[in-house]
């Protein structure tokens, strides 16, 4: 078993100003999720969003194994996106992305975005290369914030994502609304779904929490299923 950083999570952000937003629409927050596979709890992910001032933001995640799984899995995963908000484009655009995995399969990834030249500099385990990208390309972690920004306004989302040295297109759609009971309360949620030839990801995003995801499932074609459920939240007016 391996700690899985689910292609999920969504969060928040935005402001209203001329060129760069000075304040986010929602306050800084920290959300803790329990991670499950085949009915067993195997990990915990803590995600934190905060404003750095001057329209810049930091979004980071720390994932580790817990419980019985921690006896066998020693991996830890860290992700961080530094972003700037463009009020003109209504976009939260990445300046850089960092991924670090410790344990048996160590891996270090860094992406630096050059908006003027529409390119991204990739560094994987100190091996750099440059990739051309379309305007407004997002990184595979910070894009989850953009989904949160769009969730209350759109029925379908389409994003260009710089991921693993490749350019990928993520297509996400709203499939319904419902009431969902969670460890932090019962909320009206918007249900989002993304499918491709390998997996189907479903996200339950709470309207009262600025569309913060409170539950995420990922079903793979081979039958494996992963689930993330919120268990603690600070900020967002709570």
For the chain, the domains span 29-235
Predicted pLDDT of residue 191: 97
In sequence order, what are the beta bridge partners of 230? 33
CA distance 109 to 225: 26
Distance CA 194, CA 201 (A): 5
Number of other residues whose CB lies within 10 A of the CB of residue 123: 14
Cβ-count burial of 97 within 10 angstroms (0-12 exposed, 13-18 middle, 19+ buried)? Answer: buried
Q: How far is CA 89 from the centre of its chain?
A: 20
Q: Which residues on adjacent β-strands are paired with residue 61?
A: 47, 79
Write b or e for each residue in 173-196: b if 16 or more Cβ atoms lie within 10 A of its Cβ, otherwise e: eeeeeeebebebeebebbbbebee
pLDDT tens for each residue of 127-172: 888 999 999 999 999 999 888 888 988 899 999 999 878 899 999 9
Residue 31 has pLDDT above 80, yes or no: yes
Confidence bin at 74 (pLDDT 50/70/90): low
* Angstrom distance (rounded) from CA 180 to CA 205: 10
Of 7 and 2, more confident? 2
At 39 the pLDDT is 81
- Name every residue whose Cβ is closer than 8 Å to that of residue 228 and which is 6 or more positions away in sequence: 6, 8, 9, 33, 34, 35, 36, 45, 213, 215, 216, 217
pLDDT tens profile 216-237: 999 988 888 999 999 999 998 7
Residue 156, SS3? strand
CA 228-229-235 angle, to 5 degrees, is: 120
Res 73: pLDDT: 64
| Bridge partner list, 183 | none
Q: Is CATH 2.50.20 the classification given to domain 29-235?
A: yes
Q: pTM score, two decimals?
A: 0.84
Alpha helices in 93-235 (DSSP H): 143-150
How far CA 140 is from CA of 8, 37, 100, 167, in Å, comes to 10, 22, 14, 10
pLDDT for residue 69 is more than 60: no
The DSSP H or E segment spanning 30 is: strand 29-37
More confident residue, 152 or 81: 81
Question: Confidence band (pLDDT; 50, 70, 90) for 9?
Answer: very low
């Amino acid at each position: 078993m391996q700690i899985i950083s689910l292609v999920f999570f969504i969060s928040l952000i935005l402001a209203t100003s001329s060129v760069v937003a000075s304040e986010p629409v929602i306050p800084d927050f920290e959300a803790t999720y329990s991670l499950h596979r085949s009915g067993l709890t195997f990990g915990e992910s803590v995600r934190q969003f905060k404003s750095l001032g001057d329209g810049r933001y930091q979004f980071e995640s720390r994932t580790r194994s817990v419980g019985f799984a921690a006896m066998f899995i020693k991996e830890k995963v860290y992700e961080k996106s530094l972003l700037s908000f463009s009020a003109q484009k209504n976009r939260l655009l990445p300046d850089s992305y960092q991924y670090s995995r410790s344990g048996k399969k160590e891996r270090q990834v860094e992406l630096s975005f050059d908006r003027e030249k529409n390119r991204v500099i990739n560094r994987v385990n100190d091996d750099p290369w440059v990739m051309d990208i379309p305007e407004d390309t997002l990184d595979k972690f910070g894009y989850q914030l953009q989904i949160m920004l769009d969730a209350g306004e759109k029925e379908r989302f389409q994003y260009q994502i710089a991921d693993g040295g490749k350019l990928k297109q993520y297509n996400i759609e709203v499939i319904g609304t419902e009431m969902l009971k969670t460890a932090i309360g019962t909320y009206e949620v918007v249900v989002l779904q993304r499918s491709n030839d390998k997996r189907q990801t479903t996200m339950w995003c709470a309207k009262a929490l600025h569309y913060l995801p409170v539950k995420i499932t990922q079903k793979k074609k081979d039958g494996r299923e992963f689930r993330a459920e919120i268990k603690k939240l600070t900020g967002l007016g709570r």
